[in-house]
Amino acid sequence: MIVRRTKIVATLGPASSSPEKIEQLIVAGLDVARLNFSHGSADDHRERAKLVREIAEKHGKYIAIMGDLQGPKIRIARFTSQKVELKEGQPFTLSNQHPSEAGTDKIVGIDYPSLVQDCHPGDELLLDDGRVVLTVDSVEEHAVHTTVTVGGPLSNNKGINRRGGGISAPSLTDKDRDDIRLAAEIEVDYVAVSFPRYGSDIQEARKLVQEAGSKAWIIAKIERAEAVADDHALDAIIKVSDGVMVARGDLGVEVGDARLVGIQKRIIQHARTLNKLVITATQMMESMISSPLPTRAEVSDVANAVLDYTDAVMLSAESASGQYPVEAVTAMARVCLGAEQEPTTTQSQHRLGETFSRCDETIALSAMYAANHFPGIKAIISLTESGHTPLIMSRIRSGVPIYCYTRHPATQRRAALFRGVYTVPFDAAKIDPAKVSDQAIDKLKERGLLHKGDWIILTKGDFYSNSGGTNGMKILKVK
């Protein structure tokens, strides 16, 4: 049986919150359930997390849960008539003193007073993900006066971006701080931080997550132009994160759609080189909100991310509020499997010029070199506490499955996001050391994944309670 290596993140929402729908999503191939804290109540998120855990256990699957913080989404206020039509060439004013419910086609309130400090004449402001474009003419103490350069309909509470970035809003809001405490309460496995500009934004989020009593890993959403201004800025964020998300909505608006694909590829490459996770997100199968089948362009988009070796691809509105959430996960799984049949997805460029900094990294990458050059290897077994060794392994392209053997539920779920890594519950500390290897192999034989004469690679540490302690590798023949 061909096993999919690329993982699927799907957002839960009104269309996918019943026990029946969540079960269908898990059966269809869901690996990570995303809770979008921009929408829904705390009780909604508590209930969805509870259902995911219960149904995953029923099916013997390990599903990670990601809590996605809203961040400082900068928005216009509301219109008297709910919606206006802006015409090219007309004047339009954004004011932080205009009544929030009284917007017209001439002026609208804003919920971010500092916009007047962030804007200068000649700047371009993009509303509603770039569907409406304004050019700044002048700035007063409480208002930004603009001319509409791309017109169209504009409705309540749409987001504002500045072309090229430069919005100074802090990455973490008071709501985010509350949601971090909620994330800790429901024991999410990942916390995604929206709109970080610098590594310090991620470090602050990690401190808050730890103070809340959570061990969740931190995913930095790359969606500001400043974050991709150059390799130094990008790497500074990646290095202090556990993984990154290519959040193509706001990022595409700020950098322009023409540059987005190249930047996406650069983010994936840098994340993998720095041994971090990477998720590709936003509009991957957008048409499936209202259609049971994806377009050819969407199929190509997902497949290209897979060929670039992203860890996961993500569904947003397609699974949260669309008409075909299960079909979207099914289609995404099918496309991932198809792309993974290409030989390039298993052909590695090993890091022959690199010097390793850790013992477990040295063992992990040595194991991958052996697996990719010894044709008899059918599986890699990594006995791990934190999951760090299989994470490092999965940074190298390979067709050999990596099995994360761990006793810790948090690590079992966390590994659901690692490309080509599959969880096997296993407590080596309770087994006679002389029998650990045989019992580890037996686990895969019982599942029909190994047969007599196959070779496997097994990595472990001298002590099974030490995180980062992997210091040994064996190549074993299945009896």
In the chain, what percentage of residues exceed pLDDT 70?
99
Q: Which of 4, 5, 34, 397 is catalytic?
A: 34
Map tokens 């009593």 to a residue. Answer: 213
pLDDT confidence of 466, banded at 50, 70, 90? Answer: low
Q: In terms of Cα–Cα distance, which of 207, 191, 176, 194 is closest to 66? A: 191
Over residues 469-479, mean pLDDT? 93
Residue-level pLDDT at 167 = 87
Q: Is the per-residue pLDDT at 463 higher than 80?
A: no
Q: Which tens digits make up the pLDDT trace of 389-445?
A: 999 999 999 999 999 999 999 999 999 999 999 999 999 999 999 999 999 999 999
* CB neighbour burial string for 255-265, b if at least 16 within 10 angstroms, e if fewer: bbeeebeebbe
Q: Which of 21, 46, 75, 266 is catalytic?
A: 75
Residue-level pLDDT at 113 = 85
d(CA 210, CA 257): 36
Q: Which tens digits make up the pLDDT trace of 112-165?
A: 888 999 999 999 999 998 899 999 999 999 999 999 999 999 999 898 999 998
Average pLDDT, the chain: 95
Q: How far apart are the first and last CA of the chain?
A: 22
* Residue 34 annotated among the catalytic residues of the structure: yes
Q: Which of 6, 93, 146, 282 is catalytic?
A: 282
* Residue 221 annotated among the catalytic residues of the structure: yes
d(CA 316, CA 300): 18
At how many degrees (to 10) do helices 231-240 and 257-273 cross?
Answer: 50
Pairing state of beta strands 64-68 and 402-406? Answer: unpaired
In a 3-state reduction of DSSP, which class is residue 341? coil
- Name residue 92's beta-bridge partners: 146
Contact 91, 145 (CB under 8 A): yes
Three-state SS for 202-213 is HHHHHHHHHHCC
Q: Which tens digits make up the pLDDT trace of 153-168?
A: 999 989 899 999 888 8
Whole-prediction pTM: 0.92
Cα atoms found within 13 Å of the Cα of residue 431, Cβ hemisphere only:
15
Q: Which of 221, 248, 413, 460 is catalytic?
A: 221
Contact 385, 469 (CB under 8 A): yes
* Residue 419 annotated among the catalytic residues of the structure: no
Q: Is the per-residue pLDDT at 73 higher than 90?
A: no
Q: Which residues contact 300 (CB under 8 A, 6 or more apart)?
A: none
Residue-level pLDDT at 465 = 63
Contact 284, 314 (CB under 8 A): yes
